[in-house]
């Protein structure tokens, strides 16, 4: 028998055991069927910090600290936490918790899970953003962990609410290479402490999780959860109306009125923490501007400002988003921590935009390709087309390349676009998250710039961010974060478009508390 045959048999055995458990459980709890707007690209909880991946991970795994639907911190695998001194946080772990394979959860699993993200190769958006703030994770005993930081780190609990805790035993911490992302994607070592266990994943078809009846947080609400990727908006709505699924993500704006008026459908929605923005590559040379040669117009702040002023955000949110978006003048909607109450979007002024282009030496504009996913964000391709049309009116002749999200992110990470329509959801629910992630200078050592694909770098901004995340006083920290966000946007580090209003459609008899983090969590769905 080959190693591959053995692995296949092992995965099959795990699946069979999971199904057998769900049969007994199914007599008490029914199945839940969810239509996803985007398919996840990995089951490795430390590979790609992406909403669709995270929401699945948080059903299989737990974090030390959890977030409620408003992103308020609540106890998870840690029952309590406190700052022992300026550079030490102590976490007391929950006792009696078992992993899906029956092994006990201890501090060793926490230490392993905090060290692993830095070892995951080729991560498009690494979780080191959240783990690098601790320079050392010290196991005091089986249920006590100390996180040692180089400087005061008041936001450490927020960061740790984003890191899934894996079983060090199942993930083979004793083997040099550990369990790889590829192996986890096949279900090997995919062992957590969450309410649901992995059963089956067929890319493009479905992901199946089964209830963990021994879940420390109480019996899961569903015997089996079946996720079906449905990137086509019409197909997703049709599946809901036909009763083929019980819940869908992101009903398309064009269908919202019809769905709200349907007595057999319930809509749950809220303003999210997701900013939709235009990422502008500020390196030389750059791809996507064919007539620029070695010169990149986007390096000039006047050009970036012109592109922002050419965008009619009100028209986009009212006509294309049909109210499922709010024009953005900051990285997060107020009153989230660190936002500026007086922040306003750049005013639509195409004449002033043309003048700025001329002042920058581009009176006749230039040509550019705007990359965009066509199945990731609400009406993403349509928004990109609107931006392209508005840029073209000021002389920046814009072609849109809208592709499947998987292809888009690969192209973006390889810097094949000079401009790209992307989104960022602040996982911690406060301003340091987007500042550290999408505008700070890329630094693996600091965990900065994990999703900075603009290659923008401002040492003065970096210094403010570092000072902010080390400031214990909330009032002073918020002022620093406000200063940092203003500096980044005055410099047009990127172009904010709008904050998404996220919605879910459910069959009559089902309920869901809309979440600011946009996560679709199976255990958050209830039967009326």
175 and 287 part of one domain = no
Residue 364 lies in a domain: yes
Under the banding of pLDDT at 50, 70 and 90, the label for residue 27 is very low
Within a domain: 106: yes
3-state DSSP of 135-146: CEEEEEECCEEE
Closest among 429, 434, 471 to 456, alpha carbons compared: 434
Q: Is the pLDDT of residue 79 over 70?
A: yes
Residue range(s) defining the domain that contains residue 105: 45-180
pLDDT reported for residue 446:
85
pLDDT digit string (tens) for 44-71? 999 999 999 999 999 999 999 999 998 9
- Give domain status of residue 230, yes or no: no
8 has a pLDDT exceeding 70: no
Q: What is the pTM of this model?
A: 0.77
pLDDT of residue 14: 37
Among 135, 150, 180, residue at a domain's last position:
180
Which CATH number covers residue 110? 3.90.76.10
* CATH number of the domain within which 348 lies: 3.10.105.10
369-390 pLDDT tens trace:
999 999 889 999 999 999 999 9
Determine, yes or no, domain membership for 81: yes
Residues 6+ apart with CB under 8 A from 350: 309, 310, 390, 393, 394
**Residue 347 is assigned to a structural domain of this protein:** yes
Q: Calculate mean pLDDT across residues 443-459.
A: 91
Asked, for residue 471, whether it belongs to a domain, the answer is yes
Quote the pLDDT of residue 293.
Answer: 73
Residues 152 and 280 in one domain: no
Same-domain check for residues 297 and 446:
yes
- Residue ending a domain, among 126, 157, 180, is 180
Look at residue 423 in the predicted model and tell me its pLDDT: 96
Average pLDDT over residues 427-450: 92
pLDDT surpasses 60 at 25: no
Cα angle, residue 105 at apex, residues 156 and 54 outer, rounded to 5°: 55
Would you give the DSSP letter of residue 8? H
Do 336 and 461 belong to one domain?
Answer: yes
Query: Considering the chain, what is the average pLDDT of its residues?
Result: 91
pLDDT of amino acid 9 = 33
Q: Which pLDDT belongs to residue 20?
A: 41
pLDDT, residue 29, reads 66
What is the rounded CA–CA span in Å between residue 213 and residue 207? 19
- Shared domain check, 288 and 140: no
Distance of CA 77 to the CA centre of its chain: 21
Instruction: Kindly state whether residues 307 and 161 are assigned to the same domain.
Output: no
Provide the number of structural domains found in the chain. Answer: 2
Please report whether residue 156 resides in a domain.
yes
The answer to the question of residue 388 being in a domain is yes
The domain boundary, picked from 180, 208, 231, lies at: 180
Asked if 328 and 321 count as a contact pair (C-beta separation under 8 A), the reply is no
Cα 194 to Cα 184: distance, rounded to the nearest angstrom: 16
Q: Give how far Cα 373 sits from Cα of 104, 274, 494, Å.
A: 42, 15, 18
Residues 279 and 407 in one domain: yes
């Amino acid at each position: 028998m080959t190693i591959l045959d053995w692995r296949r048999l092992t995965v099959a055995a795990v699946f069979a055991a999971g199904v057998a458990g769900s049969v007994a459980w199914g007599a008490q709890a029914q199945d839940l069927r969810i239509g996803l707007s985007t398919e996840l690209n990995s089951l490795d909880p430390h590979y790609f910090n992406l909403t669709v991946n995270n929401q699945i991970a948080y059903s299989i795994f737990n974090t030390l600290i959890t977030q409620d639907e408003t992103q308020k911190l609540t106890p998870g695998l840690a029952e309590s936490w406190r700052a022992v001194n300026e550079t030490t946080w102590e976490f007391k772990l929950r006792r009696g918790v078992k992993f899906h394979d029956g092994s006990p959860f201890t501090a060793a699993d926490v230490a392993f899970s905090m060290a692993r993200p830095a070892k995951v190769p080729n991560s498009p958006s690494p979780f080191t953003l959240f783990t690098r703030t601790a320079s050392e994770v010290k196991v005091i005993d089986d249920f006590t962990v100390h996180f040692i930081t180089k400087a005061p780190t008041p936001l450490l609990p927020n960061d740790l609410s984003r890191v899934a805790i894996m079983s060090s035993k199942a993930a083979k911490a004793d083997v040099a290479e550990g369990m790889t992302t590829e192996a986890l994607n096949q279900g090997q070592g995919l062992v957590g402490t969450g309410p649901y266990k992995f059963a089956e994943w067929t890319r493009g078809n479905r992901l199946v999780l089964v209830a963990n009846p021994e879940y420390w947080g109480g019996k899961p609400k569903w015997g089996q959860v079946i996720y079906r990727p449905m990137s086509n908006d019409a197909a997703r709505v049709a599946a809901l109306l036909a009763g083929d699924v019980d819940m869908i993500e992101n009903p398309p704006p064009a269908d919202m009125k019809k769905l709200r008026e349907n007595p057999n459908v319930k809509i749950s929605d809220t303003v999210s923490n997701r900013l939709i923005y235009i990422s502008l590559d500020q390196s030389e040379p750059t791809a996507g501007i064919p007539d620029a040669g070695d010169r990149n117009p986007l390096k000039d702040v006047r050009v970036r400002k012109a592109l922002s002023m050419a965008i009619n955000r009100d028209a986009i949110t009212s006509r294309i988003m049909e109210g499922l978006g709010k024009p953005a003048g900051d990285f997060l909607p107020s009153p989230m921590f660190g936002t500026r109450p007086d922040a306003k979007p750049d005013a639509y002024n195409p004449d002033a935009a043309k003048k700025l282009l001329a002042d920058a030496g581009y009176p006749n504009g230039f040509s550019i390709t705007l990359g965009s996913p066509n199945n990731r964000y609400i009406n993403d391709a349509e928004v990109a087309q609107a931006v392209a049309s508005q840029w073209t009116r000021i002389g920046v002749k814009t072609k849109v390349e809208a592709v499947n999200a998987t292809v888009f992110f690969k192209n973006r990470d390889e810097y094949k676009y000079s401009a790209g329509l992307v989104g960022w959801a602040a996982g911690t629910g406060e301003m340091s998250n987007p500042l550290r992630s999408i505008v700070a200078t890329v630094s693996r050592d600091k965990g900065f710039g994990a999703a900075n694909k603009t290659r923008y770098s401002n040492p003065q901004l970096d210094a403010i961010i570092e000072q902010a995340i080390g400031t214990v006083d909330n009032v002073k920290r918020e002022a620093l974060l406000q200063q940092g966000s203003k500096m980044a946007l005055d410099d047009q580090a990127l172009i904010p478009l709008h904050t998404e209003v996220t919605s879910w459609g459910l069959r009559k008899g089902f309920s869901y508390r809309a979440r600011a983090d946009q996560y679709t969590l199976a255990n958050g769905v209830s039967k009326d």
